[in-house]
Chains A and B, each alone.
Chain A
């Protein structure tokens, strides 16, 4: 996003003054911004002027009209402002305080440092609907014309850039854009509704943004086949793949459908010799890690989730105060994450064995520094024995894993996975009726049935997997009949001659 020239930042489009273009232009400037409109001297005119009259409290400005929005059906807009995480950054502070030294003097210094380095990245009504956020130096989006939906490039991704933007738009090298953007051309607002953006409206402050009730959820559009649907809601195609039934409630959507994403490390903040604030982070990495959900809730019951490394470090505030984060182990540095680079097919969901038994995907102690071990103890995923070891009750585990589709035995329609040889290796094999890739026709008919089974690589008793044998068998039958026919014909001819 190109920065604006100083005059561009404050240039008001004359359309703003046209009632038909923007009703806000009929309100006198000083009503919202204060200052002295009578003065022609710019210094005197700007005395007492408020640049963003909507932050932190918009009740006297936007709230005059937008406490309720009947048109959009939002119960409240400005009324929920004090629960708007874009304004309050509440969970962000909660997480830092969780790790912080409880000494009040130290806390004061942390507050001061956060005020300089962290809390500036907030938004407000004005910094979404009128101008770019102050954290990216502000400036009108379109000559002070109010934007009902904030533009993605000047507003959403000007703050949510290095992770969300790069993931969603496919700017991380070698990783495609999110399928919702690439195939459907969806923008942020398609999932993150105005209702969510205007605040959660909950009585209790959420522990983190994933506790917000009106947040975006995959299941708002994607439903299991046969599940109850809200009247009037628009849904994508039903989730019919049996993997959803198997993993639902155990594994978050992103575990299967997210591509590798950005992880940040070791942020340190301070001021240089001239007093200018600075930050330093170590190079980020593109990685993909599955960890345990450290905070399962009714709304988020999944045991396995994608986790992202956040830039927290023990020395984050060292410039301002030593020992600021004495309780750094109280919250994980690998945090529950919902990467925005969703794909239908990902390296980890190509097959069951791409994930099951692939220990490199899972977060373990080996992936963290020593100070992080305690902090992430509830996030480390226990490594499971490899699939052949877990299936060692079978006669030939490797052969079964190679030739039998996992879903044949782990069929979600069965009460429990097949664990008895007789269920398959019998005349009335369960595979005849339940195998996901069972042929559509009867295996006991008169036609050749091998071809489909061979092509699919299924391992079924009695199935001949050597096509040459089929050919030889057919030739033998033809030759036998041909021999008999020729022999009979010759005998018939020779008898008539006699």
Chain B
């Protein structure tokens, strides 16, 4: 009987945890903004592509002194 109630409590705990985080997970799945901007891997790939596609930005060669 004891082990059954223990098991029951564990199931409840897992259930509560999943429930409390489900909104965020669902939200994240819904928005491509969130899924991309929270993923290190995706951002790294995309920003690399963007940087590579950019024309080589020249430094303002003649700037001198303090701004």
Please give the residue numbers on chain A whose beta carbons come within 8 Å of chain B beta carbons, in ascending order.
5-7, 10-14, 17-18, 28-30, 33, 35, 37-40, 42, 45, 144, 162, 264, 267, 270, 272, 274, 276-284
B60 touches A278 (CB 8 A): yes
Residues of B within 8 A of A283 (CB): 65
Known A7-B43, A37-B31: A12·B24 in contact at CB below 8 Å:
no
Q: A7-B47, A10-B47 are in contact. List 12 more A-B contacts (CB 8 A).
A: A6-B48, A7-B40, A11-B43, A29-B31, A29-B33, A40-B32, A45-B36, A162-B67, A272-B60, A274-B58, A282-B65, A283-B65
Known A7-B47, A10-B47: A276·B59 in contact at CB below 8 Å:
yes
Bound CA–CA A42/B48 (angstroms):
13
- Residue ID in chain A nearest B66 by CB atoms: A162
Bound CA–CA A40/B39 (angstroms):
13
Bound CA–CA A10/B34 (angstroms):
11
Determine whether B9 belongs to the interface, using a CB cutoff of 8 Å to chain A: no
In the A-B complex, the 6 residue pairs with the smallest Cβ-Cβ separation, listed nearest first, are A281-B65, A6-B47, A29-B33, A278-B60, A12-B37, A7-B43
B33 touches A11 (CB 8 A): no
Residues of A within 8 A of B50 (CB): 6
Known A274-B58, A279-B63: A14·B32 in contact at CB below 8 Å:
no
A278 touches B36 (CB 8 A): no
A281 touches B47 (CB 8 A): no
A29 touches B66 (CB 8 A): no
Task: Point out the residue from B38, B40, B44, B66 that lies within 8 Å of A264, measured CB to CB.
Answer: B66
* Shortest Cβ distance from residue A49 to the other chain B in the assembled complex, whole angstroms: 9
* Shortest Cβ distance from residue B44 to the other chain A in the assembled complex, whole angstroms: 5
A284 touches B65 (CB 8 A): yes
Residues of A within 8 A of B32 (CB): 37-40, 45
- Residue ID in chain A nearest B50 by CB atoms: A6
Bound CA–CA A28/B28 (angstroms):
10
- The number of chain B residues with a CB under 8 A from chain A is 29
Most buried by A among B32, B38, B47: B32
The secondary structure that dominates the A interface is mixed
Task: Point out the residue from B27, B58, B66 that lies within 8 Å of A284, measured CB to CB.
Answer: B66
Determine whether B1 belongs to the interface, using a CB cutoff of 8 Å to chain A: no
A270 touches B62 (CB 8 A): yes
Bound CA–CA A439/B55 (angstroms):
79
Residues of B within 8 A of A274 (CB): 58
Residues of B within 8 A of A279 (CB): 60, 63-65, 67
B33 touches A17 (CB 8 A): no
Most buried by B among A17, A38, A281, A283: A17
- Residue ID in chain B nearest A262 by CB atoms: B66
Bound CA–CA A138/B18 (angstroms):
36
Most buried by A among B46, B60, B65: B65
Residues of B within 8 A of A267 (CB): 65
Task: Point out the residue from B43, B48, B60, B62 that lies within 8 Å of A10, measured CB to CB.
Answer: B43
Bound CA–CA A280/B67 (angstroms):
9
* Shortest Cβ distance from residue A268 to the other chain B in the assembled complex, whole angstroms: 9
* Shortest Cβ distance from residue A356 to the other chain B in the assembled complex, whole angstroms: 34
* Shortest Cβ distance from residue B13 to the other chain A in the assembled complex, whole angstroms: 19
Show 30 A/B contacts (Cβ-Cβ < 8 Å), sorted by A.
A5-B47, A6-B48, A7-B40, A7-B43, A10-B43, A10-B47, A11-B40, A11-B43, A12-B38, A14-B24, A17-B24, A17-B38, A18-B24, A28-B31, A30-B33, A37-B30, A40-B32, A42-B36, A45-B36, A276-B58, A277-B60, A278-B61, A278-B62, A279-B65, A280-B62, A280-B65, A281-B65, A281-B67, A283-B65, A284-B65
Bound CA–CA A274/B44 (angstroms):
29
- Residue ID in chain A nearest B45 by CB atoms: A7
Residues of B within 8 A of A45 (CB): 32-33, 36
Bound CA–CA A277/B61 (angstroms):
9
B60 touches A280 (CB 8 A): no
B38 touches A14 (CB 8 A): yes
- Residue ID in chain A nearest B36 by CB atoms: A42
* Shortest Cβ distance from residue A316 to the other chain B in the assembled complex, whole angstroms: 13
Task: Point out the residue from A12, A17, A144, A276 that lies within 8 Å of B27, measured CB to CB.
Answer: A17
- Residue ID in chain A nearest B67 by CB atoms: A279
- Residue ID in chain B nearest A117 by CB atoms: B67
Residues of B within 8 A of A284 (CB): 65-66
Bound CA–CA A6/B43 (angstroms):
9
Bound CA–CA A37/B34 (angstroms):
9
- Residue ID in chain A nearest B64 by CB atoms: A280
- Residue ID in chain B nearest A16 by CB atoms: B38
Residues of A within 8 A of B58 (CB): 272, 274, 276
Residues of B within 8 A of A277 (CB): 60
Residues of A within 8 A of B40 (CB): 7, 11
* Shortest Cβ distance from residue B30 to the other chain A in the assembled complex, whole angstroms: 8
